[in-house]
């Protein structure tokens, strides 16, 4: 895994919702990788504590949710989308999305949260930097592998020339 970073340090918000705590673990792990990769101003925040202003203030939005209720977002994320950020303008904002799930609950809607969040950010003008991180079952065994590798890919994008034109 690479942790080298050549671009400037960016203000990153890692936003998440969780019911059982798995998504919080992933959010913290992502933030740790991004900080170690040169982005010291990376904040982790729950949707319940987040305002439109928080999202507007960040240069990069990393947003995650587990999947619940047959292919829906976490209930807190649903409330956040419907009540807080419904009309948000993300035009040009670099974004990355992560979703959690478990095929034992609904094989037909596995990790649908990643699709829903991607549709939301892109539908509001956000720019997806990389394909979503998708995690099935408990994330603990993949924090050092899948999650770290995804972060390395994201760090590469954040160091790229095109990010300078977006932020
Ligand atoms: C009642 C219930 C419904 C779920 N529905 C789905 C689903 O439709 N699709 C899916 O991929 N995972 C589903 N899951 C799995 C969760 O997304 C997964 O356990 C996730 O890690 C939970 O994250 P959290 O601990 O951050 O809340 C469901 C879990 C529960 C308990």
E-state strands within 6-117:
12-16, 42-46, 60-68, 72-73, 94-101
Using the predicted structure, report yes or no on whether residue 162 has a pLDDT greater than 90.
no
Q: 12-162, what's its fold?
A: Rossmann fold (3.40.50)
pLDDT digit string, tens, across residues 114-156: 999 999 999 999 999 999 999 999 999 999 999 999 999 999 9
**Å from CA of 38 to ligand 1 middle:** 32
pTM for this entry:
0.96
What pLDDT score was predicted for residue 167?
A: 75
E-state strands within the chain:
12-16, 42-46, 60-68, 72-73, 94-101, 127-128, 133-136
80: Cβ contacts below 8 Å, ≥ 6 apart? 17, 47, 48, 50
Both tokens of residue 22?
A: 């798995």
Name the residue of 25, 100, 138 to mutate for ligand 1: max ligand atoms within 8 A of Cβ. 100
CB atoms closer than 10 angstroms to residue 109 = 17
* Nearest-atom index, ligand 1, CA of 19: 27
Q: Which residue is closest in CA terms to ligand 1's atom 10?
A: 101
Residues with CB under 6 A from ligand 1: 18-23, 66-71, 100-102, 105-106, 109-112
**Å from CA of 66 to ligand 1 middle:** 6
Residue with tokens 């994330």: 139
**Å from CA of 106 to ligand 1 middle:** 9
- So where are the chain's domains? 12-162
pLDDT digit string, tens, across residues 70-122: 999 999 999 999 999 999 999 999 999 999 999 999 999 999 999 999 999 99
pLDDT range class, residue 1, cuts 50, 70, 90: very low
Higher pLDDT, 67 or 7: 67
Instruction: Find, among 93, 96, 98, the residue nearest to 163 by Cα.
Output: 93
3-state SS assignment for residue 99: strand
Name the burial class of residue 104, with classes exposed (0-12), middle (13-18) and buried (19+) by CB atoms within 10 angstroms of its CB.
exposed
pLDDT digit string, tens, across residues 12-24: 999 999 999 999 9
């Amino acid at each position: 895994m690479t942790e080298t970073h050549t671009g400037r340090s960016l203000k990153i918000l890692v936003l998440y919702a969780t019911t059982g705590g798995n998504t919080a673990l992933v959010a913290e792990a992502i933030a740790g990788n991004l900080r170690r990769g040169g982005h010291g101003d990376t904040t982790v925040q729950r949707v319940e504590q987040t305002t439109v202003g928080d999202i507007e203030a960040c240069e990069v939005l990393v947003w995650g949710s587990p999947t619940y209720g047959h292919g829906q977002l976490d209930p807190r994320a649903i409330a956040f989308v419907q009540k807080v950020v419904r009309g948000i303008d993300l035009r040009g904002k670099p974004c990355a999305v992560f979703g959690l799930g478990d095929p034992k609950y609904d094989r037909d809607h596995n990790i649908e949260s990643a699709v829903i969040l991607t549709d939301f950010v892109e539908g509001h003008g956000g720019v997806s930097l990389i394909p979503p991180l998708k995690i099935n079952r408990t994330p603990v065994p993949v924090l050092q592998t899948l999650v770290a590798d995804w972060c390395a890919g994201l760090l590469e994008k954040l160091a790229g020339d095109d990010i300078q034109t977006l932020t």
